[in-house]
Structure 1
């Protein structure tokens, strides 16, 4: 029997046009309405998943690249995932829901009160995927956006302020005793006064304290500063790394060291590696899919160029595909991690841009660990192997269309359950309790 792991779903498109560009658009779900998402989260909960993380970007990007972002709906439109969350909580009983939030978009007092409200409404199943993107700064004021490390400084202050407000009701302040005729003792409430580099506000918070812990913080950052933020604050780390033993061990060691440096235990953070599988019916079909991707045509390369242009907010389609990529085309708002994913292991000074793009069109087999095309059994083998290396769990990366969810999970869930990798039931106490159950 293999060791159990945690499973989550990363909704990579965000609260956006699900089905666009795919044949299953003709299922006629309306992406702006909750039914599509509610159907899928019920399936995730039936499957024993711990959480759903909903990607978001509040901005359509810089004026020069808006068309790149919306022409194929890669980067927008997106609606607010925080407002979708109550509909998903109403459709489930155990699944954690983790909308993406940006400190630039929410003042700490407002954020603390809204998040506390959702934590209570959900039975303590709220998580917060805290991102430090500065590309949307122009929507929230006229001050120049902070640099990379400054954005993390702001996020640290923001989160510390929110936690101070959450804790402004100490033990004993809430009485709620009808026999005594006393609801609360206001003399015990903490009079928070915060005056920082980025925010100023007063407390106490006009919301109840939590019975089963604060919302779980999730973070995706891979830089040194990002890993430090995770070590100090996160309950879940969204991890991107090559899925070989050496890379996974090295990544986990960095997260654990950051946790220890912040005075926490390594097991306080569950590290979930993101994978985008292509599940097919047989090994022969997997071989055909991989073979068909080896020599991408011009249309496939153009599609990748548009998608990468949206992600990087830089028009790659206007560049010379036969020339090496000049990294100076990227502005300071583009993350180094995103650029590194585009370049991969190639020498950027000598490799033509078309070669970089073609590499993203090519697929590999799960069975030989060159990619993620394979049968449900082969994908389960990979997950089991990760568990043998001490892995905490997996985030399946994809849209939340019911067709996608069932295509990946219908055969996979029974296999994982039979092997003892995937939970069959939940514990009480909300998202935090289920993450710490093993």
Structure 2
């Protein structure tokens, strides 16, 4: 029997237009209504997934590039995932729901109270994907935008403050003794007086303490500072790295070292590698898809350029495909990591066509050159990751039911046959299921 793995789904489009740009849009779901998300959440719970993480970006970007982000719905619009969470909790009994939250958008006391409310309403199934995106700062304050590392400093102060409020009800504070008519002991409510670099507030919190653990903290950062934040604070790390044994083990070691340095144990954090597989019914079909992707036509390259234009807030579709890409077209606000993902290891003289073609090309699961393959081949990869000590995987896609069934219908039975995917949940909410194995 193989080692069980944790499984999650990263809702890459966020609370946005599910199915846009694909034939599945003609199923006529209304993405602004809860039904499509509830149906997808029930599918994930039936499959035995631990959690769904809902991506978010509260900003449409800089004023000069808004059209790039909304024209094809790659970068927006997006509604607030925190307000979607109760509908997903109502539709399920065990699935963890993890909306993305930005410390810039929530004052600590308000955040602590709202998150505590959702934790209780959900049966302790809330998670929080804490991001430090600074590009949205202008929407929340007129203060100067923070730098990369300072944004993490603020996130740590924010999270420390929220946890101090959650813990302001000491053991024994909640009495609930009906014969004596005592609901709570005020002497056991701890005063909180926070005066920090970014926030000032007082407690205690006007919300009940938790019976089955605090909301699970998820983090996606891949920088040195981001990995340090995960090691010190997170229950789940969303990992992006090459899926070879050396890279996987090295990445996990960095997280575990950061956890140890913060006085935690390596067992305190689950590391889930993000993968977007294309599951097909046969090896022959996989070979056909990979072969076709090797020679993308201009229409396919333009579609990739549209998505990259949204991510990079730079109109690549206006550039000549056959001229070298001048990096001066990218403003200072553009993520250097995003630029590196576009240009890869190709030289400065490489034309834009070469960069887009590289992104268009797919590879086979069978030889580990990519993620196109059968359910059996993907299960082989997950099993191999488990042999290297991995905790689980995070599948990546939108939340349209067509997308989920195309990915999971053949995969779930194969994973269950091997003992990789859970058949039942334990009581105690998200934290308990993350620590069940």
Q: 2:100 aligns to what SS in structure 1?
A: strand
**Would the aligned equivalents of 1:19 and 1:25 in 2 still touch at CA under 8 Å?**
yes
- Does residue 1:163 correspond to 2:163, yes or no? yes
Alignment match, 1:40: 40
Kindly state the Cα deviation for residue 322 of structure 1 after the two structures are TM-superposed: 3.1
Which string of whole-angstrom CA distances, capped at 9 and with x for unpartnered residues, describes residues 258-278 of structure 1?
111111111211110111111
Write out aligned runs for 1:15-414 (5 A). Answer: 15-347=15-347, 349-414=348-413
Q: 1:423 aligns to what SS in structure 2?
A: coil
Which string of whole-angstrom CA distances, capped at 9 and with x for unpartnered residues, describes residues 128-150 of structure 1?
00000011111111111101111
Large movers: runs of 4+ above 4 Å: none
Kindly state the Cα deviation for residue 328 of structure 1 after the two structures are TM-superposed: 4.1
Distance in structure 1 (CA, Å) of the matches to 2:113 and 2:233: 19
Kindly state the Cα deviation for residue 158 of structure 1 after the two structures are TM-superposed: 0.7
**Would the aligned equivalents of 1:36 and 1:401 in 2 still touch at CA under 8 Å?**
yes
Q: 2:272 aligns to what SS in structure 1?
A: strand
Q: 2:409 aligns to what SS in structure 1?
A: helix
Which string of whole-angstrom CA distances, capped at 9 and with x for unpartnered residues, describes residues 158-182 of structure 1?
1111111111111111111111110
Alignment match, 1:427: 426
Q: Which runs of 5+ in 1 are unaligned?
A: none
Distance in structure 1 (CA, Å) of the matches to 2:243 and 2:231: 21
Root-mean-square deviation (CA), in Å? Answer: 1.1
Distance in structure 1 (CA, Å) of the matches to 2:295 and 2:426: 49
Q: Does the C-alpha gap of structure 1 residues 345 and 169 become closer, same or farther in structure 2, counting only changes over 3 Å?
A: same
Distance in structure 2 (CA, Å) of the matches to 1:382 and 1:321: 35
Kindly state the Cα deviation for residue 327 of structure 1 after the two structures are TM-superposed: 3.5
Q: 1:218 aligns to what SS in structure 2?
A: strand
Distance in structure 1 (CA, Å) of the matches to 2:125 and 2:219: 17
Distance in structure 2 (CA, Å) of the matches to 1:143 and 1:345: 37
Distance in structure 2 (CA, Å) of the matches to 1:256 and 1:326: 39
Which string of whole-angstrom CA distances, capped at 9 and with x for unpartnered residues, describes residues 331-367 of structure 1?
44433332222222323x2322221111111111111
User: Which deviates more from structure 2 when the two are superposed, residues 321-330 or residues 165-174?
Assistant: 321-330
Distance in structure 2 (CA, Å) of the matches to 1:162 and 1:306: 39
Q: Does the C-alpha gap of structure 1 residues 15 and 220 become closer, same or farther in structure 2, counting only changes over 3 Å?
A: same
Distance in structure 2 (CA, Å) of the matches to 1:248 and 1:330: 31
**Would the aligned equivalents of 1:134 and 1:333 in 2 still touch at CA under 8 Å?**
no
Alignment match, 1:415: 414
Distance in structure 1 (CA, Å) of the matches to 2:140 and 2:329: 26
Q: Does the C-alpha gap of structure 1 residues 135 and 205 become closer, same or farther in structure 2, counting only changes over 3 Å?
A: same
Which string of whole-angstrom CA distances, capped at 9 and with x for unpartnered residues, describes residues 68-118 of structure 1?
101110000100000000000001011000000000111111000000000
Q: Does the C-alpha gap of structure 1 residues 331 and 160 become closer, same or farther in structure 2, counting only changes over 3 Å?
A: farther
Distance in structure 2 (CA, Å) of the matches to 1:262 and 1:337: 27
Q: Does the C-alpha gap of structure 1 residues 286 and 102 become closer, same or farther in structure 2, counting only changes over 3 Å?
A: same
Q: Count matched residues.
A: 437
Kindly state the Cα deviation for residue 400 of structure 1 after the two structures are TM-superposed: 0.8
Kindly state the Cα deviation for residue 299 of structure 1 after the two structures are TM-superposed: 1.0
Distance in structure 1 (CA, Å) of the matches to 2:298 and 2:335: 27
Kindly state the Cα deviation for residue 195 of structure 1 after the two structures are TM-superposed: 1.2
TM-score, length-normalised on structure 1?
0.98
Q: 2:205 aligns to what SS in structure 1?
A: coil
TM-score, length-normalised on structure 2?
0.98
Q: Does the C-alpha gap of structure 1 residues 33 and 223 become closer, same or farther in structure 2, counting only changes over 3 Å?
A: same
**Would the aligned equivalents of 1:109 and 1:201 in 2 still touch at CA under 8 Å?**
yes
**Would the aligned equivalents of 1:222 and 1:337 in 2 still touch at CA under 8 Å?**
no
Q: 2:258 aligns to what SS in structure 1?
A: helix
